[in-house]
Chains A and B, each alone.
Chain A
Amino acid sequence: MTELAPALAAAAPVIPDFGRGSSCVRENGTFCWDWVGDHWGDTLRPALVQHVALTAIAVAIGFAIAFALALLAHRRGRLTTPVVLATGLLYTIPSLALFQLLVPFTGLSRTTAEIALVSYTLLILFRNTLAGLAGVPEEVRDAARGMGLTRRQLLWSVELPLALPAIVAGLRIATVTVISLATVAVFVVDQGLGAPIYAGLQQTFKTELIAAGALCVALALAADALLVLAQHALTPWTRVARSR
């Protein structure tokens, strides 16, 4: 027995954090800043980075699809109704259900999460891009045609720049929506800020959950602000018009 004591003392504690942690953590406080500091590197930051990746990929793919569809529908008006009906159907299906319904096809994988997230961006991005293009005044089109612009030039150098505010407005809604919905992806893939939120739900210590939830809101607000700044930089003429 006497030989065992020093050996025990030298071994690492069985419970990793046993005997350490602040009084807040030991007493199971509602929110402990020092826990956030201790676990920023191993829990929160990786989850945040994964969350940004999930969102960026979904919005980029969603935008590519919706943008192409909107350009087609802009040329052929008949396409609008079927596209709106189809994307509206996808948009209505609750996220938790859609993630699960994709599991038989793509399994518990990141692909499943991305497909579902992309499907939620389509309606918003499609209708905003189309509304932006449709909102270009007819006089402007006439003037551009009068200057000898081809159809392609008209689209890329007149219509799309004028539609940019509406397109960015769509991107803002889509991005914020995806950031929010990506937390639900935790039910199919253990990634993003949903992971610490879900982990926090399973335990009585709530700091992890609150910190991850707050990070998610902060991320959404930051992304929204970033897109507003991008729009201001890309459309200097709107600022001139407003200041008058």
Chain B
Amino acid sequence: MNDFLDAFRFIGEHTALLWQLTLDHLALSGAAVGIALALAIPLGVTLGHMHRGSTVAINVSNVGRALPSLALISIGVAVLGIGFANVMVALVVLAFPIVLTNAYVAVDGVDPDAVEAARGMGMRAREVLWQVELPLALPLIFAGIRTAVVYVIATATLASVAGAHSLGDVIVDQATYRLPGVLGAAICVAVLALLAELLFAALQRAVTPRALRLEERGAAPLLGDLTTSERTAST
């Protein structure tokens, strides 16, 4: 356990460095998730609204899961060169399928009776989308965002091998920082990922309409994209 005491001592002594790297880590993750959301949510919601393209929207996440993050970042570097932008592109590629599949499944899976009732009340397609489908789909869309955020924060650690800065800088550089430094940074990354998970679990709960909230209890928030991954995997 001495190693861990040293690790906490390292965190105490190198607060400035770790804080700077945490900010770099968050900037890289934030940019990647932002771009992935901007691309995947409109596409997933549109496809789900039209109930089209299920094969593509669902299988893209199966293939996405098969992509080894280390290999993808490395290949991105091999083809595009080293640096922030290229690592970010790799992270976008990793986050995009998760968000797309969840957005698609969420909107596609909205109770057809609710949509039918909305149409019967005279709502136009656009109104049905914004006032019925999206509010009902929001919790599941958010589950996808949460999974993507945690995944990208975890993977951004590997960015250090490709020339972008993150907390991984310390983890992969044992020669400079020794075991206490490596452990200290690993603790920071783990805490960062857990905080992101908890924050987005709370957000997901907050955006869930109250009527739907009553149904999920206990462990449900931590199950994440349970329903989606099951649906995707069993097709």
Contacts and interface: CB of A to CB of B under 8 A. Distances in A.
B72 A213 contact: yes
6 contacts: A94-B154, A97-B171, A201-B74, A201-B161, A214-B71, A217-B68
B234 interface: yes
A162 interface: no
Contact of B65 (A98, A166, A180, A193): A180
Nearest to B224: A88
B4 interface: yes
A49 interface: no
Candidate in A97, A128, A173 with the most chain B CB atoms within 10 angstroms: A97
A110 interface: no
B222 A93 contact: no
B65 A96 contact: no
Interface stretch (A63-71, A100-108, A138-146): A100-108
A220 B66 contact: yes
Contact of A194 (B70, B222, B233): B70
A103 to B, nearest CB: 7
A165 interface: yes
Interface of A: 30, 80-81, 84-85, 88-89, 92-98, 100-101, 103-104, 124, 127-128, 131, 165-166, 169-170, 172-173, 176-177, 179-181, 183-184, 186-187, 193-194, 197-198, 200-201, 206, 209-210, 212-214, 216-217, 220-221, 224
Contacts, number: 149
B46 interface: no
B115 interface: no
Given A180-B67, A210-B78, A89 B194 contact: yes
A4 B179 CA distance: 50
Given A80-B218, A94-B189, A220 B68 contact: yes
B68 A213 contact: yes
A180 B68 CA distance: 4
Contacts of B161: 198, 201
Interface in B1-30: 1, 3-4
A88 B189 contact: no
B179 to A, nearest CB: 7
B83 to A, nearest CB: 14
Interface residues of B, number: 50
Interface of B: 1, 3-4, 62-63, 65-72, 74-75, 77-79, 150, 153-155, 157-158, 161-162, 168, 171-172, 179, 182-183, 185-187, 189-190, 193-194, 197, 218-219, 222-224, 226, 229-230, 233-234
B contact face: mostly helix, strand, loop, or mixed = helix
B234 A166 contact: yes
B194 A200 contact: no
A169 B234 contact: yes
B186 A96 contact: yes
Contacts of B218: 80-81
A117 B4 CA distance: 22
A231 B17 CA distance: 50
A96 B78 contact: no
Contacts of B62: 176, 224
Contacts of B4: 104
Contacts of B171: 96-97, 100, 187
A103 B190 CA distance: 15
A213 B74 contact: yes
Nearest to B168: A96
A96 B71 contact: no
Contacts of B157: 94, 96-97
A101 B190 contact: yes
Contact of A187 (B172, B190, B233): B172
Centre residue among A80, A177, A180 by max chain B CB count within 10 A: A180
Contact of A88 (B72, B168, B222): B222
A166 B230 CA distance: 7
Nearest to B71: A213
B179 A104 contact: yes
B186 A97 contact: yes
Contacts of A169: 230, 233-234
Contacts of B197: 92
By Cβ-Cβ distance, the 8 closest A-B pairs, closest first, are A213-B71, A94-B154, A220-B66, A97-B186, A169-B233, A206-B78, A104-B3, A84-B219
